[in-house]
Amino acid sequence: MVTVKLFGLLRLDSGVKQLELEAATVRELYPRLLVELSRRSPASALTLKDLKACAVAVNECPAKPGTKLQDGDIVYLIPPIAGG
Amino acid sequence: MTNYAGYMGRVLEVDLSTRQEREYPWTDRERERYIGGKAMASKIMYDNFTGKEEPFGPENLIVIATGPVTGTFAPSSNRFDISTLSPLTGITTSSNCGGDFGFYLKKAGIDALVIRGQSQEPVWIEIDDGKFIYHDASTLWGLKTGESQERLKKELTALHGPKGRYGMVSIGPAGENRVLYAAVTSGERAAGRGGTGAVFGSKNLKAIVASGSHEIKLHDREKAMEHHKKWTAALKAHPLTGSQLPRLGTAGLVSTMQMRGQLATRNFSAGRFDAFEKVSGEALAEEENITNTGCLSCPIRCSRTVEVEGQKVKGPELETLGLFGPNLLNDNLKLVCRWNRELDELGMDSISCAGTIAWAMEANEKGLWNNGLEFGKVEGISQLLDDIAHRRGIGNELAQGSKRLSEKYGGQDFAIQSKGMELSAYEPRRAVGQGLGYAVSNRGGCHLNGGYLVVLEGLGLSIDQQTPKAKADFCMMMQDLMESISVCGHCLFTSYAVFPGFLISKPNSPISRFVNFIIPHIGWAIRLLNKFPGIACMNLPLIPYTYELRYAVGMKMNIGRFLKIGERSYNVERAVNARFGVSAEKDKLPKRLTNMLQDPNDPGSKVPLEQMKRIYYRARGWGKNGLPDEKKLKKLGIE
């Protein structure tokens, strides 16, 4: 079980701050996360592309789709963002 | 007088010693070369400063300048600029501000004010349709910025009735007491950086109020209005200006900066903060933010409104959040909101104030200066801010900024400043181009004047954060572009919409990946464009500024000319600063950022400054001393 934390507009749109999921890799996480978010927030209209566009970090280290996940890992999903 | 629309055709010199005004000579030829805003101010300082002036002397100038599009109701384009010789850095500073003062100054029939001299008594100036009235400000002296502006409104209502509409700027106690990083406040917006407020204070100038009924003309009203409509739609449709900034504000960057190791933490000793979520833009939006607001004619509306002690007030920007949060090891968001309000009311720059406090905390920890301040210890910060503004106790020392204090107590390696100005919240060891920008920036450690390269290095595009390749070239180009945008009166946030939205919202697409890959390899093309701006003798829909100058102002413009205006502005500012001792030796960063690794296991996690500086000077056509020579200035038409 990994903890997935959502940020930016992904969090504001879905109304979900974090959730727990089973996944062996980041790639495997995406569809499961989409199903869960669609269930919790049907109006959010998120797509797999939206999730894949996010920057991913595992335990605060940048990660790739192939990055393996272990029990207790924290996965951060941050949508593209800019400017300040 | 002027033949161009947008301008009011009047630049006025105001002598506070004699309380007299006269026309400052400013021709259409100069308008074509410098447009307005800070470029105009830099040229005026170039013509007036010898290098012997003192920031608090009567000979110092305060130039308050609008751009030709200020007040034309182009989207996000009502800004004005305050430039002066900075007491914090000893060189020029220019501080850009939103709100509505620029609009009302133009309604009063004036493009810019050049203020010199020193009033004997506290004074506030009323500019009513071009007529100057000097009022006694002794009853306003000592008031905070909000109270001062409220009192002014009451006085104006008593004088002229309740229907008047005014724009105003005012200083607070920090400016009166010459805190070296005191700000000038307009409504709740601030010209924050470099101590413009302290120079107001030194001249006994508490406030300026402008109003009038002059028409701000457009060259081709129909085309200009159509252009504004299209531009507004484009800003609203863009993922950054239409969605992220309105909903999260600049604070939305905290999470991304954390992941990229760019979030200045513990006086820039780290780039990540364990409790970052508590002071993130998301937390601000969910727990504190009531609504978002914006400046006059702005569709972006990036400003946050929060509640502090029962009042709805402006919320913190990223810089305040980052530097009063992670950089002080503080995870209390409510306190940051409160301090932000107090800083605005006292009239102080939050960046330099926080940077100085962070240095003092570390100096205390290292036993260099026993001041009682500790990282993570938040009790008493409110009182400390008040003490700084009123120059009481250690506040009197902190009012001088981190450079002077580190020269007195030691600890220069961790005084996070450049040319005396404290750095903003981006940790440059994970954005080395931003590090170069901080060092070479004309006004000192400023992210914007430095070219804001971090927008390419993870906070927008995703080019390699650590490579120095092409960073010098892009630093130059971004500086010039931002100068050009700013001098017109536009908000720099409009420039984010210049990046095609898909490059940001689809970072993993083949095109985005290619762009991120190719940028570090095309520094040569930027140099070529800089050398031969005629290559870009075109206009592109992605770059709305040139159309704006053509339709609203009636000025011939293309991309090449537009960039050249920015280059001229940057060079003339540099030439003024050279008279006050700026050279390559002053373009530096503290050793913490250039010699110490952010990650001991990553030898690349520091700023390779000298390597990038050499390329930067070459790209700019400057000598090894980091300065433009006479030939370069002449080539740019700076006379």
Q: What is the mean pLDDT of residues B150-158?
A: 95
On whether the pTM is more than 0.90, the answer is: yes
B234 located within any domain: no
Across the A:B interface, residue pairs with CB atoms under 8 Å apart total 86
The pLDDT score that the predictor gives to residue A82 is 63
B227 located within any domain: no
**Do B391 and B466 sit in the same domain of this protein?**
no
pLDDT higher than threshold 90 for residue B99: no
Q: What is the dihedral of CA B560, B565, B571, B572, to 10 degrees?
A: 160
Closest partner CB to A83 (pick from B259, B426, B459): B459
CATH number of A2-78: 3.10.20.30
| Record: contact A11-B282, CB cut-off 8 A | yes
Going from N- to C-terminal start, the domains of chain A cover 2-78
Q: Which residues of A touch B256 (CB under 8 A)?
A: 7-8, 55, 78, 81
B6 located within any domain: no
**Do B207 and B257 sit in the same domain of this protein?**
no
| Record: contact A52-B280, CB cut-off 8 A | no
How far A84 CA lies from chain B's nearest CA (Å)? Answer: 5
The pLDDT score that the predictor gives to residue B439 is 98
The pLDDT score that the predictor gives to residue B1 is 87
The pLDDT score that the predictor gives to residue B41 is 98
| Record: contact B253-A83, CB cut-off 8 A | yes
How many domains is chain B partitioned into structurally?
Answer: 3
Q: At which of B352, B386, B418 does a domain end?
A: B418
Element spanning A58, H or E: strand A55-58
Residue tagged 């504190």 (tokens): B288
| Rounded CA separation B576/B570 (Å) | 10
What number of CA atoms fall less than 13 Å from residue A52's CA on the CB side?
A: 11
**Do B444 and B373 sit in the same domain of this protein?**
no
DSSP line for B278-293: GGSHHHIIIII--EEE
Q: What is the mean pLDDT of residues B404-433?
A: 98
Structure token pair of residue B156: 């104006």
| Record: contact B256-A78, CB cut-off 8 A | yes
pLDDT higher than threshold 80 for residue A84: no
B32 located within any domain: yes
| Record: contact A84-B282, CB cut-off 8 A | no
Q: What is the mean pLDDT of residues B603-612?
A: 97
pLDDT confidence bin for B263, thresholds 50/70/90: very high
Closest partner CB to B245 (pick from A49, A52, A83): A83
**Do B194 and B264 sit in the same domain of this protein?**
no
Closest partner CB to A53 (pick from B248, B285, B505): B505
CB neighbours of residue B631 within 10 Å = 9
**Do B414 and B280 sit in the same domain of this protein?**
yes
Mutation site for A-interface testing, chosen from B256, B277, B318, B455 by largest number of A Cβ within 10 Å? B256
- The residue of chain B nearest to residue A84, with distances taken between CA atoms, is B250
**Do B508 and B619 sit in the same domain of this protein?**
yes
Best CA proximity match to B347, nearest among B171, B142, B149, B87: B171
Give A22-80 pLDDT, tens digit per residue.
Answer: 999 999 999 999 999 999 988 878 888 889 888 899 997 888 889 999 999 999 999 88
Amino acid type, B567: E
Instruction: Show the domain range for B30.
Output: 11-211
Give B488-507 pLDDT, tens digit per residue.
Answer: 999 999 999 988 888 888 88
Does this complex have an ipTM over 0.90?
yes
How far A78 CA lies from chain B's nearest CA (Å)? Answer: 7
| Rounded CA separation B282/B288 (Å) | 10
Q: Which residues of A touch B272 (CB under 8 A)?
A: 60
Mutation site for A-interface testing, chosen from B235, B254, B274, B282 by largest number of A Cβ within 10 Å? B282
**Do B583 and B530 sit in the same domain of this protein?**
yes
B232 located within any domain: no
Give B110-139 pLDDT, tens digit per residue.
Answer: 999 999 999 999 999 999 999 999 999 999
**Do B455 and B599 sit in the same domain of this protein?**
yes
How far B142 CA lies from chain A's nearest CA (Å)? Answer: 33
Give B317-368 pLDDT, tens digit per residue.
Answer: 999 999 999 999 999 999 999 999 999 999 999 999 999 999 999 999 999 9
pLDDT higher than threshold 90 for residue A81: no
**Do B273 and B181 sit in the same domain of this protein?**
no
B398 located within any domain: yes
We report the CATH number of the domain holding residue B399 as 1.10.569.10
- The residue of chain B nearest to residue A57, with distances taken between CA atoms, is B259
| Rounded CA separation B487/B480 (Å) | 11
Closest partner CB to A81 (pick from B244, B277, B286): B244
B169 located within any domain: yes
| Record: contact B255-A8, CB cut-off 8 A | yes
Give B384-400 pLDDT, tens digit per residue.
Answer: 999 999 999 999 999 99
- The residue of chain B nearest to residue A49, with distances taken between CA atoms, is B506
Give B408-419 pLDDT, tens digit per residue.
Answer: 999 999 999 999
**Do B386 and B456 sit in the same domain of this protein?**
no
**Average pLDDT of every residue of chain B:** 96
What number of CA atoms fall less than 13 Å from residue B252's CA on the CB side?
A: 31
